[in-house]
Structure 1
Amino acid sequence: MTDPADEGSRPPVPPPRAAGRDDDAQEASAAFQAHVRAAREEFESHVAHARDQFGEANERIKQRMGRDLIVAILIGLAIGVVVLASLLFVKWAFAILAVAVAALGVFEMGRALDAAGRRFDLVPQVTLAAALVAGGFLLDVWMLWVLVFVDVAIVVVWRLLAQMMSAHERTVDDIVTDALAGGFVQLYVPFLASLAMVLLREDGGEWWVLAFLIVAVASDTGAYAAGVAFGRTPMAPRISPKKTWEGFAGATLAALSAGVLLAWLMLGMPWWVGLPLGAVILLTATAGDLGESMLKRDLGIKDMSSWLPGHGGVLDRLDSILPSAPAALALFLLFSPLAVA
């Protein structure tokens, strides 16, 4: 006979149904983990495929347009964040940024002119450029015009005196060309930038500066996208073979759309003000782009520098913005009375 005490000391045997439930739970957990693993592998496969496709598309764009799209986008976003933050928080922060950018632009131009055989006085050029842009923000308009005249006169006289003291002989044509090139640099970079500073210091001027920057960037982006996708007909083959009329059509659509939205939503203007805003900035931006392309072709270079990967140099980003500054100032003076209170 079995001793009842022995039976009481034995551990209870789990019911068969409980063991079955544990097996089911383990199977369900294993199935879930397998499902998650399969979903993750499928997702990684899709990401890798999309990355490969984007890389191939980027290579095609890079071969056609000569730019690395990914790097250009990242650099552009970084520049946009810095400009937006400095412009909207305190005006003087954007003014300081403008002084630094103009000085870098003059430095780039000086290196390009030196490489082309021109004589360029870097220190006075950069110093006067910084003073001129700062003057646009700090001085009255009539004093700014006096400063422009003084800057150009100093640059020209400095170059003539430097040539007189130089041991290297140059022809009269070369000397005159050097002096004119120096004066042109002051008018092209810091003077046009100083007009943006004149606009900036007006009441609500920061919004107009932001508006014309956005329209210029939208025009450039629209031209790039439409040119890559549909570009067939060269616009100015002797100046810039990669610019097309299809790209210009894309730029027109982007600039007008941006102008209307900005006038309505940001500037407090009637929506139709955005049409002349978009159209005028479109024309000045396009003219500036083509003008710098012609200048670079004459100097025998592709980009002003390689400081901004995917974009070229500082002046390669300012080519459409600098000529748009006086146009934006004129538009502000013309349409600001229409602002909705």
Structure 2
Amino acid sequence: MSQADQAPASRARAKRTQPRSNPTPKAGRNLPAAIVVGLTMLIGVLGGLIFLPLGFVAVTTGFAVFGVWEIFRALEANGTRMPIIPVMVGTVAMPFAAYFGGLESLLFALLLSCVAVLLWRSVESPVGSANSIFAGVFTLGWVPFFISFAALPLHAAGVVPPLGLWPGGTVPAGAWQVAVMLLLVVSNDTFGYLVGASLGKHPMAPKISPKKSWEGFAGSVAGATVIGVLACIFLLDKPWWVGVVLALGTVAASTAGDLAESMVKRELGIKDMSSILPGHGGVMDRLDSIVFASPVAFVLFSVVSGA
């Protein structure tokens, strides 16, 4: 081989071996983009929750719709076609049913949605019907049903304004409970990421989520506990120990939700549900913790309501 032929090959090898700058840290995120998107979402959701409750329900429903659509696309790519129309109708109906009608209406909406999935699929080809029906019912329970528990405390507040601000400008306790739940979920994610990225050495579930470590889990518990105690003292007018209970329950539920979604993604052979949120992946990659934390927080607040 001549020197003229060797030169391009040498340059190509050198180019391949040169380290490339990577804005994504070892924990797998573009941190600046993740912070901007996360804060924007949090401010928008909390603003709607405190100032326009029906707007909060609408935003929650919108996130659920995007999450269900991502699941539909991921399942379709793997050969399972979920009956998306009845699932989407149920996804839109359940949060509003919880807001206006409470727990009984939410359960009734879930039941009707599951029946609609079954009837819709029964008039189509029987090929793959079992997987299709299971996927639809599973998705209804996983995303819109669970996340609708975030709207139940607003109905439990006893005042459900269809439009406008809270009557009298006073934010009820139920709205503050939802706000605290969201702050605890964000604390779980933020402190777990910071501690896990810098100190994480012992994987929690290496076969499901290799980047999730026990050190990060400890950081989530510690950070959420501090936020929970402060929130109970200054926002909820509850004893400090209630904040500890809420923090532990929320972190456990959020971690379970994160691992559950990671297991689903691993089964489907994908890294993220989509790339719609810079630095975060898909909407479901942000909802995975909230959908599990919402019912757990609702139950915990109901138990400690007399404290």
| Shorter-normalised TM range | 0.7 to 0.9
Displacement of 1:63 in angstroms is: 4.6
**Distance in 1 (alpha carbons) for counterparts of 2:255 and 2:204:** 11
Q: Which residue of 2 aligns with 1:257?
A: 226
* Higher Rg of the two aligned structures: 1
Q: Which residue of 1 aligns with 2:186?
A: 217
Displacement of 1:226 in angstroms is: 0.6
Displacement of 1:201 in angstroms is: 2.3
**Distance in 1 (alpha carbons) for counterparts of 2:25 and 2:300:** 39
Alignment map for 1:162-311 (pairs within 5 Å)? 162-164=124-126, 170=127, 174-203=128-157, 204-311=173-280
* Unmatched tracts of structure 1, length 5 or more: 1-57, 165-169
**Distance in 2 (alpha carbons) for counterparts of 1:197 and 1:88:** 13
**Distance in 1 (alpha carbons) for counterparts of 2:221 and 2:89:** 38
Q: What secondary structure, in the 3-state scheme, does the structure 1 residue paired with 2:281 have? A: coil
- Give the residue type in structure 1 aligned to 2:210: P
Identity %: 40
* Unmatched tracts of structure 2, length 5 or more: 1-20, 158-172
**Distance in 2 (alpha carbons) for counterparts of 1:159 and 1:309:** 35
**Distance in 2 (alpha carbons) for counterparts of 1:267 and 1:307:** 35
Q: Contact (CA 8 Å) 2:188, 2:223: kept in 1 or not?
A: yes
Normalising by structure 2, we get a TM-score of 0.85
CA RMSD of aligned residues (A): 1.6
Displacement of 1:116 in angstroms is: 1.3
- Give the residue type in structure 2 aligned to 1:148: L
Instruction: Give the count of matched residue pairs.
Output: 273
- Give the residue type in structure 2 aligned to 1:134: F
**Distance in 2 (alpha carbons) for counterparts of 1:161 and 1:64:** 49
**Distance in 2 (alpha carbons) for counterparts of 1:331 and 1:227:** 27
Q: Contact (CA 8 Å) 1:160, 1:179: kept in 2 or not?
A: no
Structure ranking higher on relative contact order (CA contacts 8 Å, 6+ apart): 2
Q: What secondary structure, in the 3-state scheme, does the structure 2 residue paired with 1:243 have? A: strand
Cα distance change, pair 273–160 in 1 and its aligned pair in 2 (3 A): same
- Give the residue type in structure 1 aligned to 2:38: G
Displacement of 1:177 in angstroms is: 1.7
**Distance in 2 (alpha carbons) for counterparts of 1:331 and 1:287:** 16
**Distance in 2 (alpha carbons) for counterparts of 1:205 and 1:105:** 25
Question: Once superposed, which parts of structure 1, at least 4 consecutive aligned residues long, lie more than 4 Å away?
Answer: none
Displacement of 1:222 in angstroms is: 1.0
Q: Contact (CA 8 Å) 2:203, 2:213: kept in 1 or not?
A: yes
Normalising by structure 1, we get a TM-score of 0.77
Displacement of 1:247 in angstroms is: 0.7
Q: Which residue of 1 aligns with 2:111?
A: 149
Q: Which residue of 2 aligns with 1:318?
A: 287
